Amino acid sequence: MKTHRSNVYCRNGAIAASQPLAVAAGLETLRRGGTAIDAAITVSAVLSVIEPGASHLGGDAFVITHDAGSKRQSAFNGSGEAPNGATSDQFKSKIDHHGYRSATVPGLVSTWFEIHGAGGNLSMQEILQPAIEYANTGFPVTSGFVKRIAHHLKQFPETKLFESLNFPNNLRAGDLLIQTELGRSLEAIAADGRGAFYEGEIAESLIKSSSGWFDSSDLARHRTRVIPPLKVSYRGVDVHGQPPPSQGMILMEELLLAEGFSLSELSQAERIHMMVEAKKIAFQDRYEMLGDPEFVDINLERLFEAGSIASRRAKIDMAKANIDTVTYNQEGSDTTYFLTADRDGNAVSWIQSVFHGFGASWVIPGTGIIMNNRLTGFSLDPKSPNFIAPGKRPAHTLNAWIATRPDGSLAHVGGTPGANIQVQTNFQLITNAIDLSLSPQENAEAPRWQHLNGPSTSDAEENFNGLLQIENRIPSTVIDELKKLGHDVQELPPFGHGSSVQLLETTESGSFILGSDPRSQGHAAGF
C-alpha cells in the first residue's frame, strides 16, 4: 500500500502524538535518561498547554503500561468522581453542558504522580519543565488551534472562556501564546507534588469559585486506580485494554466476536459488514451494563466466556445487516492520544481528555486550568447503570490498548481519540495489524469506516439501523455491496474519518516501527 508518510524506524526511544512539539519534548525527556513513563508525563503536560481544547490539567486520563522486565501490564484509571452535591435532583431534563456544575473531580494530575511512582526515573521538576517553558515563554499556535477556538466561539458565542484564559483576540497561526497563570500552576505541581493540585491553592480556588459545588472531601478522596487491564487472546496475540468504567469492554468483545471469522479470507465488503455487525452487538451490551464497577456489578468474565460470545456471534447474519436500533449516548469527542516507548522496551499507551471541546468552558480562577465537563457523561435515568450519584465515576469512552506476543514481549501499541468512534477505530487497527499484516504507517493511512446512530440518508426510516460512514477511497463496488446488505452508507472524503491514530510495532530484534495519522497534525519520531 502506497502511503503519504514513511514508517519511522528507531531503537532507543519512540514517541507518537498529535502535535510535533509534544513529540520533541518527549524525546528530550528520553534522551536525558527518562523512561517511557517519564516521557509520557512530559507529553501529557505539554499537550495540556498547547492543545487545551482536547485535554487539560482539569481533565482525565486512562493509561495502559507495559513493563518489559516483568512482562506485565497495568491499567491506570484516572477518571474523576462526581462531587458530593451532584445528585439527579440538581438537574432538570439534562446535566449542565458548561460551567463547574458540568465537571467531575479532575484525574489527570493524580495520574501523573501515580504512574511516576510505578516507573519514573527523572524528577517531576525535570519531567514538567518543557510544559512549564511553553506556558511561561509561549509557543506558536497552529492553524488547527485557531480553528478550534473559532469553532467554539461560533458554537457557544456566550462563552467567556478565552477571556478567563487571557488569550489574545484574533490569534493567527504562528502567533506566540503565553499562559502565565498555567505556568505558575505547573511550577507549583512540579515543586510541591500532587498536593499542590488537590490540597493547595489550586484546590482552594476550585472550592471557593464553585460556591461549594466541589468541597475538600471531593478532592481528598480522589485517587487514580491501578488495576489489571482487560485481556483477550486474538489470533494468539494478547490484547490488553481498559477496564470499566471505560468502554474498552466493547473493543474486547468486538475482537472475540471477530475471531470466529477468517478476516483475511473475507472480501473487503464482507469484512466491513461483519465488523459493523459485531460493533452493534458490543455497543448494546455496553449500554445495558456499563457503569462504575464500584457502584454496579459488571460481570465481564461471563460476557466474554466462550458460550456467551458464541451465542452473540450467531446473531451476525453475513447475508444482511441487523436493522434493530442500537442504543447509545452522544459522547464528547475532544480527546488526545499518544504513545511512548524506551530503549528497554517499556511502553505506554495514553489517552486524556476534557470530554467536549474545551470541557466545561470554565477556568479555575487564577490557575489557567480548564475543567472537564465529564459529568455530562452520566445518565439521569435511575434504571441506567450509569445513573449519576455522588462519588461515582461516569462511563467513559476513553480507552487505549497494548498487544503482546505469547512470550509476553511487546508486539503493538495503539490508540485514537474520537468518542464512540474510538473502539470502532481500534477494532480496525488491531485487525489490520494482525489479520492483514499492515505496517503501522499503512495502518494509520488505510481507509476507515465508522458506524453512527445519526440521521438516515434513506427514505426507508423503518429500516434505519444507523449510518455507516466510509471514506470513499474504498472502491464503489464495495460500497454498493454494503448497501445491498442493508447498510445505510454515507461516503466521506478520501481522508474524512475524524480520528487521529498513533501506532507502534516492535520487531523480533526489539526495534520500533512507528506510524502517525496524516488526517491530523500528528507526528511520530524516535532515535
**514 forms bridges with which residues in the sheet?**
8, 504
- Candidates 432, 491, 393; CA nearest to 103 is 393
What pLDDT score was predicted for residue 457? 41
Domain contains 359: yes
8 A C-beta contact, residue 336 and residue 517: no
**Mean pLDDT of the chain, nearest integer:** 94
Alpha-carbon Rg for the chain, nearest whole angstrom, is 22
The pLDDT tens digits for 252-310 are 999 999 999 999 999 999 999 999 999 999 999 998 999 999 999 999 999 999 999 99
Work out the average pLDDT over 337-347.
Answer: 98
What's this model's pTM, rounded to 2 decimal places? 0.95
Domain contains 121: yes
What pLDDT score was predicted for residue 462? 36
8 A C-beta contact, residue 49 and residue 131: yes
Percent of the chain with pLDDT over 90: 90
Domain contains 32: yes
Work out the average pLDDT over 309-331.
Answer: 83
Q: How many domains does the chain have?
A: 1
Domain contains 319: no
Q: Which three cell numbers mark 378?
A: 452520566
Q: Indicate whether 456 pLDDT > 90.
A: no
The pLDDT tens digits for 169-185 are 899 999 999 999 999 99
Could you give the CA distance from residue 513 to residue 505 in angstroms, rounded to a whole number? Answer: 5
Question: Range of 139's domain?
Answer: 8-61+74-225+331-377+505-526
Domain contains 410: no
Domain contains 57: yes
Give every CB contact of residue 92 below 8 A, 6+ residues apart in sequence.
Answer: none
Burial class (CB in 10 A: 0-12, 13-18, 19+), 271: buried
Domain contains 244: no
Q: Which amino acid is at 69?
A: G
Could you give the CA distance from residue 486 to residue 320 in angstroms, rounded to a whole number? Answer: 6
Could you give the CA distance from residue 213 to residue 173 in angstroms, rounded to a whole number? Answer: 37
Q: Which helix (H) or strand (E) holds 237?
A: strand 237-241
Q: Indicate whether 522 pLDDT > 90.
A: no
The percent of the chain in helix, strand and coil, each rounded to the nearest 5, is 35, 20, 45
Burial class (CB in 10 A: 0-12, 13-18, 19+), 345: middle
Work out the average pLDDT over 310-319.
Answer: 98
Residue 159: C-alpha distances to residues 97, 156, 171, 359 (Å): 12, 6, 17, 12
The pLDDT tens digits for 14-49 are 999 999 999 999 999 999 999 999 999 999 999 999
Domain contains 209: yes
